[in-house]
Structure 1
Amino acid sequence: MNHKFKISLLCAAVLLAGCGDNSSSSGTSDTPQFEDSIQDLLGRDGSIDFVLSGTNANVPVPSSLLLDPTDHTLNIPVSPGEPTGLNNPSVAMGEADGWSTVMPFSIDLNFKQGVTLFNDLDESGFSQNLTGGILVAKVIIDPQSQKIIDYKPLTPGADFIAVSGDLKNIKVLPLTGLEPNATYIYALKQSIKDSNGKQLGTSPSYAMLKSAKPQGGDLSAPQKMVWLIESTFGANSVETDDIIYSSMFTTASVGQSIKAVAQEMSKADPSKTWEPGHTANPNNIPAEQLKELYTFENVTQIDFGEALLSDQLFLSLFPNAEEGLAVAEQMKNLYLVAKAFTKLKGITVYRGTVKLPYFLSNNLENDQWKTQPWRSAMPSVLKILSVLSSGSKQDQAHLVAQLVKLGFSPENLPLQLANPANQAKLFGAKLLLTNGEQLDPERILTKYSTLPQIRSVQDVPFLMFVPEVDEGNNGEDFNDNLPLLQYQHGITGIKETSYLFALEHISSAIQNPNYDKPYALIAIDQPLHGQRALSKEVVTTPSNPTPFMNLEYLPVARDNIRQGAIDGLGLAYAVQHSPEDLSAFSTIDTSNISLMGHSIGAITGISSYAAADVNNGEDFYYTSATLANPGAVIAPFLLESQAFSGQIKHSVSYNGVPEYRAYYQQSCANDEQISDIKCFDDFYNKSEQNKQMIDYTLNMFAFAAQTVLEPVDPYNVASLVDKDAPVFAIQSNQDTTIPNTVKTMPTAGGQPLLAKLQLSNTMLGTQGKTKLASYFKHAKHSTVIAPDFTSEKDLAAHQEMASEIVKFTLSKGNKDGNFNVKNDDDLLDNTINTDIN
């Protein structure tokens, strides 16, 4: 995987901004003389490919040299002629406020003819030669002194390994992921050997930064960074003369925007946060409409049996009306049997709408829904601080005057701005420079500008199943204060898939001797799914997953996931604050809402769950969470997904490889017998050159996509889940949609996420544990929703999954100790253990 981001000019790297083209600052002029120890590192057969200017300019990634200091976003140079919109993955990375926590560092090397790295690679590409020559450490930098005040080295072989695919590039692969929103330094030592057994060397550009001779102008800042890194390693028993390359970088922040919206939900008047006429509310949504957020309308009810036969959305799940009605009749018969032979009196199906804030565009004109990501409701605090520290005196004075009008004191402004409690004063603010230009017109969401602009208030349809049971033997009423399970469906699904398991959950609950009552279920569609389609074409379906997935505009793909998480939060908040006289919720214990997310619903669900417990749970929270078939490190696992990888590879290659696009248009576009996936496979296998082109493009895409998706990736969000919050997960051995593991990425897939969440295998004991996972041997991705009736093992897995979800939910996450699983090692795998618990 080669992540070579070329820099056409030195000034494209922001820390080197404002540079000229004089050879004395480029590191590529007449060969200068350095200290003997540095001179000895030059002119070797193999060296680091680090060049600061010229046509071969190159900076290994990750690097703070590719960070915009004015707003803390990545600034990846774009070559002349490349697209400059967000459909260019390199430009899309500019929406990220840091580097990936999981993607490999990538360091290219230069070799003389016939020379490569020393080949001690095993089958996985691991190299002890490389791993032993690399240092990585997490550091904390004091913002005032700019000195490193904390140093925690990572352990080679445990925290990271080094690999190489072609013996001309080094990749440093985090084994358990780095911390979000953290700073790291790393270095390569000359102990790394080439194929002749000789030590690797450095480049003239790095030698210039490493040298004790001070560099002026544009090179001053990067040189001071290198000095800081090397001196830090030197203070920790590393011989700095051995360092041939070093760098520093910051990882992306995670969950900030979702948390910001969650905190604003509890405000009495949303129109004060997203005030009409201000930049937080660009479409000028009236205050009256904003005040209606999180309220329910148009509530109707119908009996479950009748709903099965009349709900056209449910019937649309099946290939044709005849098959749908046949299944509906079978389910109705099961419902009637449950009513006749158990204490179930009936299930009422409620439909209605809930008003939720929408931060995406829903405008079909010019595909704005597809191209416009979330935008910040406030100017970046870092951009404000940048002007206050290095802007002109006129701009500084003008900015201070505006901040004072917003409620800030003119004294100690940096300290005030750094306090999150004060940042609410910036919501909706439009700050101007003396020339009349707006400060931060881009409004990119970062950790310095977390709250999104509201674009609309949506009436989101909900579907709810509320059971009624017989009285107890002594006349007890078990129909009051029912728990509620909130279901978030998977990609290409719809909320009506809840019909497929609602009766089974309720039936299982009422037959459980440990509990007197079942729970109700509620669901809404994910954005751009089901009833939230923007048009007949703009809706995510099994045959068209791209509206939500949005491979073309990666920041919007990220924000579709954000929106799904916020929608889940909004629904929970609306239920917990619903009026007592609303019939749909009159029997619901609104303080006892649990979450069940499946597939992408588990990916949005973990963000909902992590963000819900704000203000110590005083405003709203979940009791427990069930994550069915979740996955982490989204971009790499999608490229391994049997369900999606073919279409993704076609789409990415069509947009990124001109040769494939021409081949497709000539050989496939007009032939209905050739699918997109077959066309891609045919082209890919035609020649080794085609494979190299495609592999390079897909690797670059995966790196860019994962970098953009970092704020919502479950692997990162897992670190935000409270250590005491109950979590139950389900993994299916035959999952072809979200792979359980990804061979080339140790953090990707379902199983690494369950390890990150520190979930214990249920087959190894459940007593006293609230973080658990069941690993099903014979189950598919969709088994938890509906079984494959042609397979006895899949049916058995489905029934056990339902039973386990019911018990975990009713026990409030095994808080009462009543959660258990079927002791059947043909059904459940007892060999999987993360060794973390």
Structure 2
Amino acid sequence: MKKMLLSLAVSAALAGCGGGETLEDVKQESAAVKPSASIKFDPSNGVISVPNDLLFNGTKDGTLNIPGELNDDGSVKIQRAHYADPSLAIGALDGWSTQMPFAIDLTVPAGVEIDAASVSTPGAVRIFEVVMGASLTDQDCATVPAGIACKGVAELTNGLQGDFIAKLGADGKSINVIPMKPLKSSTTYITVLTTGLKDSSGSVAPSSTYTLLKQDAPLVTPAQKGLQAVVKSYENAVTSLGTVTSEEIIFSAAMTTHSTFEVMGAVKQLLAASLTTEQRPVLSVGQQPADGLTVADLPGIPLSDEIRPLFRSVRYLQGNIVLPRYLGEPQAKEDAALADTYWQAQCDNAAAVAGYIQATGGTPELKEGNDTLCNALSGGRLRDLGLDQHKFVSKYNPIPKALGANNIPVQITMPADETNRPDTGWPVVIMQHGITSKKEDMLGLTLALTQAGFATVAIDHPLHGERGIDVDGDGEDDFNASTKSVLHYMNLQSLLVARDNLRQSKADLLGLRLGLNFINQATAVPLLFNTQDVSFIGHSLGSVVGPGFIALANSPLDEQVDALFNVKAGALSSGGSGIANFLVESASFGPVVKSAVLSAATDLAVSKQFNAYLGEGAITDCGQYAADAGAFANCAYSTFTAQLAANGDTVALGAIDATVTQFAYAAQSVLGSADPINYAGTVNALGTPMYMGVVVGGENGNKEDQVIPPSTLSNPLSGSLPMAAMMGLTAVSESPEVDGTAGSYVVKFSQGHHSSLLTPGFDERSGGTAEGHAAATMEIQKQLATFLASKGLMLPITNDAVIAK
């Protein structure tokens, strides 16, 4: 984490924009009459603000080229594990974030101030959707060179109720652009600044470089002329829409957003294709204890003596399912061994293959084995010719390589009394637990679901519960987010691993849903489940991966298999989007995240101080938490920063804040393709009935959710409520009218805590009262079970004492 993204020396990445000659060779600057602010933009000298598609310049695999990533000849010089560095991790991406706020830097001379009101005025900062050259979807733009803007599509709306807002940065030397809705994935946008931007001396000026590029200046080298063609294409594309003129434009920059569905869509296709092979996923149930088990019989389940007898109505079984593993396996016990376990593609990427064919003038002969497989799987777009060193999964290389298979334990429950079993079998709910939790923790919900007539199935997330990794075979897991460290799954040391852990969770849910179809045939005990009536419940991390799972499961693929993936309704509790931002602002996890970031930023003086403190003072201050790595990090960071504040060390505190902000930008950029905000719109469009419960607090001193906040200060698209809004959920505080139409709803709870869905126990971190927490559990479980049983037709809200108005 030593390198951060926001201050990039990009000249090394802009192959062809430098080469010994720069635009300084041809600049003819006139003497300024009076000082004025200007936009920082001089690519050949490494001065640009990100996001900016100029960092795709020279790409051979369709991913961004980041300084330090490439040799002079354009080949990749670093190993897979080096992409653990957050700034280098962005070099594995096929685009920029769809939701992160970004800044455009200004040069502001002494005595000059930017007019903040002008920045916020619609028309000063504008964003346009465009189609770029070499388009695969627009025939008009297919033959236009890549990197050249072909045509404008539409202008986005500037405003709080629109697509984005703009405001002056806190330092007065940058323009902050903040998306209010997520941008489309795999789409190019051009951000434009106009003469509507004002400073204390008049209009903000373009940089001298940009002025030359937009005019017919006598540029010298082919590289300079190429950059001029790019800038002119940007302006031509946006002015073609007739809402802005070239004379008004003082800056333009393109950004292409990362892909979202391509890779996970390929996973679903691979699962569907396995149906005709011996590798198809099958949820099987072996022989169970002769007397049978109920949840009440299980040791270690936190049930009170009063409530445990009720769980005798919940039959408990164990099954298993074998699913593809796309994650690599660590070869050592140190956490650093996880750094290169992120997904890799099966084939060479399409950009490299196209470049090879263009350079050689013909299509090479097929080689036996993986080359033939890649050609068949991709319809000829992908090959395996040894062209792609790292094989990053992307929209240009979407087929992940299975590195093995996991035999995954499956937890199954069903009503013990089968008297009322429907003729079609018990409807099924797939349950997915939260981070640092395990599938068994979802058993607290099974009584309510059993009473509503449901069977349930659940598996652990990767690196959780029974799916930890024991490297040396000593019987103790070396990597397990449930028992060791949350960072084994939400891996801040290697963001690509964190992203692909989230992807693997979704892939496993897709495989479990598909394998569920065969449970009635693959069992040693009599079962009758209605595998065509399947719903989903996700808690915490389960709610983070849930929207993606539902969007992928319910998106049409082929009429012969669509029903085998279908999810009838979904319920989410305590989830959220904008993962990086909500982690940073989480009351529970925020200090842990910041501690990891600060400890790794060893180029900062305050980082050295913090690491010294971890080795000495923290043992004294936080030794009582030594057995819990997360609690220890939380205590150590909070205590250390409190000491800085008490000493008035604003410089050190400012350095920490800046470092964390930079990390959050890089982290969200990398995690974006797995973030639920990018699937939320699809869930809405598909019309899948959805329920969501969010603890906003407010009653009896009850705090809001202390793990995933309802909203965040740094990003309006981060938190629980923004995700609910993007899924089109209607906020209700009383039972909606029953009119025969399925609905999708979000209910805000004034009492309760992050895990109220699962346990009525009191959580003192959340404040409030024990009675309020217990009542919230009873209410949310009743709401959720009825909503799923009615497929969104009914949502009973019966205890308004725990509901926020």
Would you say same fold, with TM above 0.5? yes
More moved, 110-119 vs 327-336? 327-336
SS in 1 for 2:746: strand
- The CA distance in 1 between the partners of 2:462 and 2:797, in whole Å, is 36
Match for 1:505 among 449, 453, 468?
Answer: 449
Q: TM-score with structure 1 length normalisation?
A: 0.81
Distance 1:297 1:220, change over 3 A: farther
SS in 1 for 2:203: coil
- Check conservation: 2:513, 2:564, Cα contact below 8 A: no
Matches within 5 A, 1:622-633: 622-633=567-578
- The CA distance in 2 between the partners of 1:41 and 1:711, in whole Å, is 46
2:209 aligned with 1:171: no
| Offset, 1:349 | 0.9
- Check conservation: 1:380, 1:440, Cα contact below 8 A: yes
- The CA distance in 2 between the partners of 1:154 and 1:647, in whole Å, is 37
More moved, 442-451 vs 605-614? 605-614
- Check conservation: 1:138, 1:185, Cα contact below 8 A: yes
Distance 1:440 1:41, change over 3 A: farther
- Who is 1:77 aligned against? 67
- The CA distance in 2 between the partners of 1:705 and 1:597, in whole Å, is 23
- The CA distance in 1 between the partners of 2:450 and 2:184, in whole Å, is 40
- Who is 1:186 aligned against? 191
- Who is 1:52 aligned against? 43
- The CA distance in 2 between the partners of 1:744 and 1:542, in whole Å, is 31
- Check conservation: 2:322, 2:406, Cα contact below 8 A: yes
- Who is 2:209 aligned against? 205
| Offset, 1:673 | 2.6
Question: Aligned partner of 2:621: which letter?
Answer: I
2:50 aligned with 1:61: yes
2:225 aligned with 1:241: no
- Who is 1:726 aligned against? 689
Matches within 5 A, 1:121-520: 128-129=119-120, 132-141=123-132, 142-145=141-144, 148-157=150-159, 158-163=162-167, 164-194=169-199, 196-213=200-217, 215=219, 216-235=221-240, 236-268=242-274, 291=279, 293-296=281-284, 298-301=286-289, 308-311=296-299, 314-315=300-301, 327=303, 329-335=305-311, 346-365=313-332, 367-389=336-358, 391=359, 395-397=360-362, 399-402=363-366, 423=378, 429-431=383-385, 438-469=386-417, 471=419, 478=422, 481-507=425-451, 509=452, 518-520=453-455
Distance 1:483 1:220, change over 3 A: same
- Who is 1:568 aligned against? 509
RMSD over aligned Cα atoms? 3.0
- Check conservation: 1:12, 1:77, Cα contact below 8 A: yes
- The CA distance in 1 between the partners of 2:715 and 2:464, in whole Å, is 30
| Offset, 1:538 | 0.9
SS in 2 for 1:623: coil
- The CA distance in 1 between the partners of 2:243 and 2:273, in whole Å, is 52
2:495 aligned with 1:550: no
- The CA distance in 1 between the partners of 2:694 and 2:329, in whole Å, is 35
- Who is 2:625 aligned against? none
Deviation readout 1:155-202 (Å, 9 max, x if unpaired): 2212211121110111111111211111111111133122x2422112
- The CA distance in 2 between the partners of 1:549 and 1:609, in whole Å, is 21
- The CA distance in 1 between the partners of 2:478 and 2:6, in whole Å, is 37
| Offset, 1:258 | 1.6
- Who is 1:680 aligned against? 637
Distance 1:62 1:403, change over 3 A: farther
Distance 1:622 1:292, change over 3 A: closer
- The CA distance in 2 between the partners of 1:461 and 1:207, in whole Å, is 63
More moved, 481-490 vs 492-501? 492-501
| Offset, 1:267 | 1.6
Distance 1:622 1:775, change over 3 A: same
| Offset, 1:778 | 1.2
SS in 2 for 1:615: coil
Deviation readout 1:222-258 (Å, 9 max, x if unpaired): 2112111212333314232232111111111113222
2:579 aligned with 1:582: no
| Offset, 1:484 | 0.7
- Who is 2:550 aligned against? 609
Distance 1:656 1:43, change over 3 A: farther
- Who is 2:137 aligned against? none
2:706 aligned with 1:704: no
* Unmatched tracts of structure 1, length 5 or more: 34-38, 121-126, 272-289, 316-323, 337-345, 409-415, 432-437, 510-517, 831-837
Match for 1:750 among 717, 720, 730?
Answer: 720
- The CA distance in 2 between the partners of 1:679 and 1:406, in whole Å, is 50
- Who is 2:654 aligned against? 692
| Offset, 1:44 | 4.4
More moved, 578-587 vs 135-144? 578-587
- The CA distance in 1 between the partners of 2:410 and 2:130, in whole Å, is 47
More moved, 452-461 vs 241-250? 241-250
- Who is 1:286 aligned against? none
2:770 aligned with 1:791: yes
SS in 1 for 2:489: helix
Q: TM-score with structure 2 length normalisation?
A: 0.85
Deviation readout 1:385-405 (Å, 9 max, x if unpaired): 22333x2xxx343x4334899
- The CA distance in 1 between the partners of 2:291 and 2:675, in whole Å, is 39
- The CA distance in 1 between the partners of 2:211 and 2:733, in whole Å, is 57
Question: Aligned partner of 1:199: which letter?
Answer: S
Percentage of matched positions with identical amino acids? 25
| Offset, 1:648 | 0.4
- Who is 1:104 aligned against? 101
Question: Aligned partner of 1:376: which letter?
Answer: A
More moved, 379-388 vs 206-215? 206-215
Q: How many aligned positions are there?
A: 731
Distance 1:228 1:51, change over 3 A: same
- The CA distance in 1 between the partners of 2:99 and 2:226, in whole Å, is 27
| Offset, 1:298 | 4.3
2:622 aligned with 1:665: no
| Offset, 1:102 | 0.9
- Check conservation: 2:63, 2:94, Cα contact below 8 A: yes
Question: Aligned partner of 1:20: which letter?
Answer: G
- The CA distance in 1 between the partners of 2:600 and 2:795, in whole Å, is 50
| Offset, 1:307 | 5.1
2:760 aligned with 1:760: no
More moved, 781-790 vs 561-570? 781-790
- Who is 1:802 aligned against? 781
- Who is 1:637 aligned against? 582
| Offset, 1:585 | 6.9
| Offset, 1:259 | 1.5
- Who is 1:777 aligned against? 750
- Check conservation: 1:742, 1:748, Cα contact below 8 A: yes
More moved, 685-694 vs 181-190? 685-694
- The CA distance in 2 between the partners of 1:404 and 1:296, in whole Å, is 35
Deviation readout 1:478-536 (Å, 9 max, x if unpaired): 476000111000000000012212123323x2xxxxxxxx0111111001001111133
Distance 1:808 1:32, change over 3 A: same
- Check conservation: 2:295, 2:314, Cα contact below 8 A: no
Distance 1:369 1:301, change over 3 A: farther
Question: Aligned partner of 2:217: which letter?
Answer: K
Deviation readout 1:101-126 (Å, 9 max, x if unpaired): 11123111112223332244xxxxxx
- The CA distance in 2 between the partners of 1:688 and 1:83, in whole Å, is 37
* Unmatched tracts of structure 2, length 5 or more: 72-76, 133-140, 471-476, 623-632, 697-703, 763-768
- The CA distance in 1 between the partners of 2:203 and 2:751, in whole Å, is 51
